[in-house]
Chain A
């Protein structure tokens, strides 16, 4: 499986934008980039995914580098409820329903 690298932790002030980076230098051409997050005492939840183009949804935006070797999850206006561990995961397009391979993720702390 292609590997992702994320910072262990980040802090951000409430109501400010947050940029969570992910490096995936060995990504293959058919790998989708997925983000999940895990709030305290809960199971992971899907945030967003993309292949080549930047993506937006109600939760976040995903900016994908032109060479696809890195991506950034953007929370436009962080709230205290966004404090969670964020996981960047690569999924092969040819195996869309295979298991998810999680790393250790980035623990995001929101400062009031």
Chain B
């Protein structure tokens, strides 16, 4: 298995544009998480899925953000009408629901909003 992958790795966009990121989890993992990380801070939780069901959303996830996992495999995170404050690293992680420990993280997508 190649681990969690994320695309694109970098995205530069202008304020007001929409962006979409993709996460492919480890194949047998049924839980998928999105986190956001700004410079000098630890990652902050955004949302998570078990299979295709979105089970929790952080208050950080404004209505401009939407995440989907339509077939319980890959997930997308869309940000509409981007703002400069959305500039951050967006991290995806996956785990098996039956497991009691490790979350496996992807390399992240770095978003820069100009």
Contact = CB atoms under 8 A, between A and B. Distances in A.
Contacts of B107: 41-43
A112 interface: no
A34 interface: yes
Q: Which of A43, A44, A100 has the most CB of B within 10 A?
A: A43
Interface residues of B, number: 27
A98 to B, nearest CB: 8
A92 to B, nearest CB: 11
Contact of A34 (B40, B99, B101): B101
Interface in B86-110: 91-93, 95, 97, 99-108
Nearest to B6: A43
Contacts of A26: none
A103 B43 CA distance: 8
B4 A100 contact: no
A85 B35 CA distance: 17
B4 A43 contact: yes
Contact of A97 (B35, B92, B95, B104): B95
Interface of A: 32, 34, 41-46, 49, 85, 87, 93, 96-97, 99-105
Q: Which 4 A-B pairs have the closest CB atoms?
A: A102-B42, A43-B105, A99-B45, A96-B100
Interface of B: 4, 31, 33, 35, 40-45, 48, 56, 91-93, 95, 97, 99-108
